[in-house]
């Protein structure tokens, strides 16, 4: 027997029509979900009835019909309700308590003559326009999902009404199906109450109770269902639409839901990890938009699906250069930030790479709601600001990463760090920087069991030791997106590298290039022949042993190139020269003036930061097709080429290592541009056997440098272990040392002494220096004596000061307090000049004397205070013999402070380098090192109360050295990737503040700023937005901290 269904639908109509009509139903109405509207008079329909209405002044439902024709829905509901209340079998708990389930049954009984459906069936349907319809009897579980989704579409007022009726009927007899329906209603109401809460672990916002005490009383009286439906639907119809883009709301809702689903999935370690490796599909769109990445390589997919990653185990993965390692790391980083809601630390080797990563990832941060913070040079807060809402991605150099980890351990926030990613993991084996990286990772492993470590490199060999140290899984693959062909050139013959042959080489071809006798003398290694095979159509890099050799090769090549090379992108090359002139305040290197018209330049540390950046951008854009560069380019920013030429198998005077060779040739072949990449190593006959060993030998092993770098390695580690209370007894220190890479490799590296003896010697040395207090036990006696750190020791490790200089720095700062000359900043600059630059300084005594004589009388006193008398400088300049001993370190340090002093006054690296007869690259390096060291000295002074006076002075000096520009340009130069020349362009174009830049239009920016591509403009704007957001967040955190109610107010419980 058919059971009735109930339908309601709102339709738009002229406001003048406000009547309720009753029209016989057509046969097709049974199949249609649309309630029919009475035809207008013009259509020839019957005249409308004039209803008796005391309900309201404006009846909004006057011309809406039900499906079945004789009565309007509301009239029928009214009739049914009256009959139902008079029925002796009604299921009512108390007067006015109406049970929804039974009322629905009454409605259904009344409609049996009009519909035919299966027995016991109830379905509640709703279309998008507000109608709903009920049928009863699905099996209890079969239609649960359908019911849930259907109820989601109901207006909130109706769902809240159902919920209230459900509460009122608690304790009454409710059929199981009704229970299920009510449960679904309640679930849907929860979603309405908190629309932003898409996943179970999200916090629900409590919705204010809409019912006053009076209305509650009224509700318990017999309230007409008709009245309630009509008033609810009237409210829905009259409700104002929010002036917000529905498309934007929908996108934000989808993104939020996907993030929550991904977070829940990752927490449950499920294999099915959502739309894009556990991330919102928007992330995939952003990779396509910002990087042009459509799909991942097969190895990248395999790596991301590793069970070890799903289980949050540490991982080391190794692939050839250009294989796409960074993309995998970035996806894992985004999973941590968005899904697990933890901070992330990314450690990279060089400042330039930090800035490149900050620029590249700021766009993602803006779109996905996390912060990108730069920790390089003098930049970075210690400890970082604790964010309440947004999570942070810290991108740091090795040294800054170590200081950051120390500050997190000290403030007991190391568990906030969910992930640490290390780029170029093989750096563990490279000198003092490797020792610092090892110390950082060892501390993380010891202090936080929840922090995951991911290490990647193209050049790893003894992976077993690194796995044991990092407690990590290992993944490797030989994939390269572009095939790499390795060649060796001896005389005019090119051989292919082939490990299967006996000597490792097979004949490939003879060079086909006609050389004149003059050209043969100028280019005995046939570099021009190798270069002209690829340029200007394709790009080429020539790696040279020294900086001078780079410039010579660039000059030689352009001398013998045909004049047609000048015509290739001639205007853009002239623009590049013009830009370099602006950077140099009218000066351009004569070598670059000669080579750039041919599309050639050199690239080494002798360039200023601005020059290097301009040349890199021109090469990436194809304006320059050939760079002669040193080995540092191979480990720095990503500048691939069709052909790589190694001028000689040497770096300076040292023979090339296999890892260096692999990094250089790894730049060959650009994915998506080149079908193949080539590397050609130029070899002299005398080096042939060495090169055979080089190309066929395995990669070098990675060994701990804690012992080799004593003050920056072992002693630095021991000091910070005690200072951070990670290990405070000799026994605890010994246990910690066993978990380092040195502990893993102790049998190889410490044959003369045991690791315990080395540790004991290190602790004794620190006690002698006054950095630690305590007593070390004799051999064979276990000591439980607690070690403590002295104020000087704490200042040393918190300032990241080299232990070789910490006592000297303390003495000089102490001496400065006796008579600090503040007429200018010369005395402060002397104290902030880095010690490790002194040994490379060779003063020009005539320049020294000239600069000294230009100082004021007060400034000349600085020289006397630091121990460099005027008579000494005068005698040195005139070549006289010196009887009195003067500290050469103080002499050199004062000379370097003169360079910095002049630089801050003139803010022009070119003029200062000419004035002191130094390369502009050396002056640039001195400036960068001084800014970083001044920041370290500032942190050193913050830990010693006696040096309180230095805090304000050094804070300002750090800023001056970091930017070395006029004050008005500093806000713009805070943006990652904006250097002095670009800051001047932006300032002159009217972009004078960070807010101007953050709200700029990229197309307008490109039009107003010369030599700026759209991609660069977008990156600058994203970086500015990120920095502005970071500063705003920091201020908001301060406000919330100030307004936070203390939990320990006296007299409260």
Q: Which residues, in sequence order, are CB contacts of 488 under 8 Å at separation 6+? A: 494, 495, 497, 505, 680, 681, 683, 691, 695
Q: What are phi and psi of 972, to 5 degrees?
A: -75, -35
Strand residues in 408-504 grouped as ranges (E): 417-423, 452-457, 472-476, 483-490, 493-497
HEC readout, 993-1016: CHHHHHCCCHHHHHHHCCCCCHHH
| Secondary structure class of 484 (helix, strand, coil) | strand
Distance (Å, rounded) from C-alpha 469 to C-alpha 385? Answer: 30
In this structure, are residues 668 and 484 in contact, taking their beta carbons and an 8 Å threshold? yes
Strands 343-347 and 417-423, by their bridges, are parallel
CA-to-CA separations, 948 to 803, 812, 814, 942, 943, in angstroms, rounded: 22, 15, 11, 7, 9
What is the model's pTM? 0.74
Distance (Å, rounded) from C-alpha 547 to C-alpha 636? Answer: 16
Q: Which residues pair with 644 in a beta bridge?
A: 541, 679
Q: How many helices (H) and strands (E) does the chain have?
A: 45, 21
Tokens, residue 76: 């029928």
Distance (Å, rounded) from C-alpha 505 to C-alpha 495? Answer: 6
Question: Which residue reads 């179970």 in tokens?
Answer: 200
Distance (Å, rounded) from C-alpha 952 to C-alpha 828? Answer: 12
How many CB atoms neighbour CB 633 within 10 A? 22
Burial of 14 (0-12, 13-18, 19+ CB in 10 A): exposed
Q: What are phi and psi of 727, to 5 degrees?
A: -145, 120
Tokens, residue 99: 């049970």
Q: Which residues pair with 126 in a beta bridge?
A: 132
In this structure, are residues 123 and 135 in contact, taking their beta carbons and an 8 Å threshold? yes
Cα angle value 869/872/876 (rounded, 5°): 150
Distance spanning both ends of the chain, measured CA to CA: 67
In this structure, are residues 1030 and 380 in contact, taking their beta carbons and an 8 Å threshold? no
Output the pLDDT for position 501. 85
Distance (Å, rounded) from C-alpha 196 to C-alpha 205? Answer: 9
Q: Which residues pair with 372 in a beta bridge?
A: 393
Closest CA to 308 of 474, 133, 116: 474
Tokens, residue 259: 């993030």
In this structure, are residues 409 and 440 in contact, taking their beta carbons and an 8 Å threshold? no
Cα-trace Rg, the chain: 38
Tokens, residue 526: 């046939």
Length of the chain: 1053
Output the pLDDT for position 164. 55
HEC readout, 326-379: HHHHHHHHHHHHHHCCCEEEEECCCHHHHHHHHHHHHHHHHHHCCEEEEECCCC
Report CA torsion sign: 882, 918, 840, 652: negative
Report CA torsion sign: 138, 200, 188, 171: positive
In which element (H, E) is residue 271 found?
A: none
Q: Average pLDDT per run of 10 along the chain, which is 1053 residues long?
A: 39 40 41 39 43 42 43 61 56 42 42 40 38 42 45 50 54 43 42 39 40 41 59 61 61 73 57 69 92 93 94 94 91 94 96 92 94 93 88 96 96 96 94 95 96 94 95 94 93 90 88 84 92 92 95 94 89 93 90 95 92 93 94 82 95 92 89 84 93 90 90 93 95 94 89 88 94 79 80 95 94 92 94 93 94 94 92 91 87 96 92 93 94 96 95 93 91 90 92 94 93 89 93 88 87 71
CA-to-CA separations, 298 to 33, 301, 522, 677, in angstroms, rounded: 49, 5, 48, 21
In this structure, are residues 349 and 635 in contact, taking their beta carbons and an 8 Å threshold? yes
The DSSP string of 126-176 is E-TTS-EE--B---TTTTHHHHHHHHHTS-HHHHHHHHHHHHHTTTS---H
Q: Which residues pair with 654 in a beta bridge?
A: 651
CA-to-CA separations, 20 to 53, 227, 610, in angstroms, rounded: 10, 15, 78
Closest CA to 697 of 657, 754, 641: 657
Tokens, residue 84: 């139902």
Tokens, residue 205: 């916002």
Distance (Å, rounded) from C-alpha 468 to C-alpha 244? Answer: 55
CA-to-CA separations, 802 to 378, 439, 712, in angstroms, rounded: 16, 14, 6
Strands 650-651 and 654-655, by their bridges, are antiparallel
Distance (Å, rounded) from C-alpha 638 to C-alpha 660? Answer: 15
Closest CA to 674 of 496, 481, 478: 481
Q: Which residues, in sequence order, are CB contacts of 154 under 8 Å at separation 6+? A: 126, 132, 188
């Amino acid at each position: 027997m058919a059971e009735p269904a109930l339908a309601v639908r709102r339709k738009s109509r002229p406001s003048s029509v406000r009547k309720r009509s009753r029209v016989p139903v057509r046969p097709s109405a049974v199949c249609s979900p649309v309630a029919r509207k009475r035809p207008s008079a013009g259509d020839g329909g019957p005249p409308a009835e004039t209803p008796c209405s005391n309900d309201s002044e404006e009846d909004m439902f006057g011309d809406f019909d039900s499906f079945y024709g004789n009565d309007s829905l509301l009239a029928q509901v009214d009739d049914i309700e009256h009959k139902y209340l008079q029925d002796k079998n009604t299921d009512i708990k108390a007067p006015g308590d109406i049970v929804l389930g039974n009322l629905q049954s009454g409605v259904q009984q009344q409609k049996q003559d009009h519909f035919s459906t299966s027995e016991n069936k109830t379905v509640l349907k709703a279309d998008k326009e507000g109608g709903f319809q009920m049928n009863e009897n699905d099996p209890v579980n079969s239609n649960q999902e359908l019911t849930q989704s259907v109820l989601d579409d109901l207006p909130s007022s109706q769902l809240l009404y159902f919920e209230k009726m459900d509460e009122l009927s608690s304790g009454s007899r409710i059929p199981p199906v009704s229970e299920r329906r009510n449960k679904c209603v309640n679930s849907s109401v929860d979603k309405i109450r908190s629309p932003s809460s898409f996943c179970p672990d999200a916090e629900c916002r409590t919705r204010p109770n809409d019912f006053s005490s009076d209305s509650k009383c009224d509700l318990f009286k017999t309230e007409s269902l008709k009245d309630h439906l009509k008033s609810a639907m009237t409210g829905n119809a009259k409700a104002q639409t929010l002036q917000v883009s529905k498309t934007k709301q929908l996108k934000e809702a989808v993104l939020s839901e996907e993030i929550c689903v991904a977070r829940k999935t990752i927490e449950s370690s499920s294999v099915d990890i959502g739309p894009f490796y556990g991330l919102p599909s928007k992330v995939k769109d952003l990779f396509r938009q910002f990087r042009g990445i459509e799909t991942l390589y097969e190895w990248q997919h395999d790596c991301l699906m590793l069970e070890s990653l799903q289980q949050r185990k540490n991982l080391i993965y190794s692939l050839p250069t250009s294989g796409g390692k960074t993309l995998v790391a970035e996806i894992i980083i985004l999973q941590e930030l968005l899904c697990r809601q933890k901070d992330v630390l990314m450690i990279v080797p060089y400042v330039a790479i930090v800035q490149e990563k900050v620029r590249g990832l700021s766009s993602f941060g803006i779109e996905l709601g996390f912060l990108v913070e730069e920790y390089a040079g003098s930049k970075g807060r210690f400890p970082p600001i604790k964010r309440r809402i947004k999570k942070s991605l810290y991108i740091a150099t090795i040294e800054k990463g170590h200081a950051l980890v120390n500050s997190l351990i000290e403030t007991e926030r190391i568990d906030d760090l969910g992930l640490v990613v290390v780029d170029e993991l093989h750096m563990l084996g490279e000198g003092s920087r490797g020792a610092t990286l090892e110390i950082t990772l060892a501390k993380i492993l010891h202090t936080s069991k929840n922090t995951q470590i991911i290490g990647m490199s193209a050049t790893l060999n003894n992976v077993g030791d690194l796995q044991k140290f990092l407690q990590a899984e290992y993944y490797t693959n030989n994939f390269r997106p572009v095939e790499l062909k390795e060649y060796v050139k001896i005389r005019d013959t090119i051989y292919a590298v082939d490990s299967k042959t006996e000597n490792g080489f097979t004949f490939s071809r003879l060079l086909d290039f006609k050389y004149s006798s003059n050209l043969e003398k100028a280019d005995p290694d046939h570099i021009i022949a190798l270069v002209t095979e690829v340029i200007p159509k394709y790009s080429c890099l020539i790696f040279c042993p020294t900086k001078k050799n780079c410039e010579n090769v660039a000059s030689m090549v352009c001398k013998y190139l045909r004049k047609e090379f000048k015509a290739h992108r001639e205007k853009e090359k002239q623009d590049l020269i013009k830009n370099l002139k602006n950077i140099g305040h009218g000066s351009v290197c004569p070598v670059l003036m000669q080579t750039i018209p041919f599309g050639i330049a050199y690239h080494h540390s002798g360039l200023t930061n601005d020059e290097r950046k301009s040349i890199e951008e021109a090469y990436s854009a194809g304006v320059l097709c050939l760079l002669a560069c040193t080995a540092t380019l191979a480990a720095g920013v990503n500048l691939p080429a069709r052909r790589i030429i190694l001028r000689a198998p040497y770096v300076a005077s040292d023979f090339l290592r296999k890892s260096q060779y692999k990094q250089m040739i790894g730049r060959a072949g650009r994915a998506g541009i080149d079908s193949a990449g080539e590397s050609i190593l130029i070899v002299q006959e005398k080096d042939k056997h060495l090169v055979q060993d080089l190309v066929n030998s395995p990669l070098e092993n990675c060994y701990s440098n804690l012992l080799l770098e004593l003050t920056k390695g072992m002693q630095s580690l021991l000091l910070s272990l005690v200072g951070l209370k990670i290990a405070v007894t000799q026994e605890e220190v010994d246990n910690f040392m066993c978990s380092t890479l040195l502990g893993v490799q102790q049998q190889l590296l410490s044959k003369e002494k045991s690791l315990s003896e080395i540790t004991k010697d290190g602790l004794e040395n620190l006690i002698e220096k006054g950095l630690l207090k305590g007593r070390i036990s004799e051999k064979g006696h276990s000591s439980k004596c607690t070690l403590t750190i002295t104020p000087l020791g704490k200042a040393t490790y918190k300032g990241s000061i080299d232990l070789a200089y910490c006592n000297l720095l303390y003495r000089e700062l102490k001496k400065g307090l006796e008579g600090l000359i503040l007429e200018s900043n010369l005395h402060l600059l002397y104290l902030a000049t880095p010690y490790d630059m002194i040994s490379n300084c060779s003063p020009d005594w005539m320049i020294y004397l000239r600069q000294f004589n230009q100082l004021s009388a007060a400034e000349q006193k600085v020289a006397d205070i630091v121990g460099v008398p005027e008579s000494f400088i005068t005698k040195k300049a005139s070549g006289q013999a010196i009887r009195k001993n003067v500290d050469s370190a103080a002499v050199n340090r004062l000379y370097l402070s003169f360079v910095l002093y002049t630089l801050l006054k003139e803010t022009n690296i070119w003029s200062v380098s000419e004035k002191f007869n130094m390369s502009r690259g050396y002056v640039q390096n001195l400036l960068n090192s001084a800014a970083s060291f001044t920041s370290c000295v500032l942190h050193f002074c913050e830990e010693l109360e006696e040096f309180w006076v230095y805090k304000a002075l050094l804070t300002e000096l750090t800023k001056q050295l970091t930017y070395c520009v006029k004050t008005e340009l500093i806000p713009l130069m805070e943006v990652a990737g904006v250097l002095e020349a670009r800051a001047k362009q932006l300032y002159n174009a009217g972009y004078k503040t960070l807010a101007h830049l953050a709200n700029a239009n990229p197309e307008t920016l490109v039009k107003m700023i010369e030599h700026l591509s759209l991609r660069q403009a977008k990156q600058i704007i994203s970086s500015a937005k990120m920095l502005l957001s970071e500063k705003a967040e920091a201020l908001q955190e301060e406000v919330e901290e100030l307004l936070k109610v203390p939990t320990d107010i006296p007299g409260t419980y």
